[in-house]
């Protein structure tokens, strides 16, 4: 139960940071906290399953997906900051 409460609290804290922080890098860091909470929940659940090795494999896959997300997110932040848009309120349009 403690693991569940910890993971839920981390996801809640990360979501609050992602919603309220205005600096883009701080928003990205908050999303990492959220992802960490979700992975922790997955690991705690994996520990009580009948096949923890498979669950560990799934968690490794999620870890790689999180690393990809961080790489692309930081690339977007670098481009936006170079264009003078460092804060969330500076981003008003999305163009393909």
Partner 1 sequence: MSVTLLWWALAALTLTGAVSVLLSREMTRLLLALGAFLLGVAGLYAYYGFELLAVAEVFVYVGGVLVLFLFAITALGRDSSGRSIERRLDLGAAAVSAGLAAALALAMRVVLPATTAATGVTVEKTADALLGPLLPHFEAVGVLLLVALVAALAIVGGGEE
Give CA–CA dist 68/28, Å, rounded. Answer: 13
Give min distance, CB of 63 to partner 1, in A: 6
Q: Does 72 bind partner 1 (CB under 8 A)?
A: yes
Half-sphere exposure of residue 51, counting CA atoms within 13 Å on the CB side? 5
Show contacts with partner 1 in window 4-43 (CB under 8 A). 4-17, 19-23, 25-26, 28-30, 32-33, 36-37, 39-41, 43
Cβ proximity to partner 1: between 82 and 92 the closer is 82
- The structure tokens listed for 63 are 């870890």
């Amino acid at each position: 139960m403690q693991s569940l409460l910890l993971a839920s609290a981390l996801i809640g804290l990360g979501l609050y940071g992602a919603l309220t922080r205005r600096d883009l890098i701080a928003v990205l860091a908050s999303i990492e906290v959220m992802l960490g909470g979700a992975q922790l929940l997955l690991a705690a659940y994996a520990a009580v399953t009948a096949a923890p090795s498979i669950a560990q494999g799934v968690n490794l896959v999620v870890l790689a997906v999180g690393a990809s997300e961080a790489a692309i997110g930081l690339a977007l932040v670098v481009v936006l900051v170079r264009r003078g848009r460092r804060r969330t309120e500076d981003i008003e349009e999305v163009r393909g």
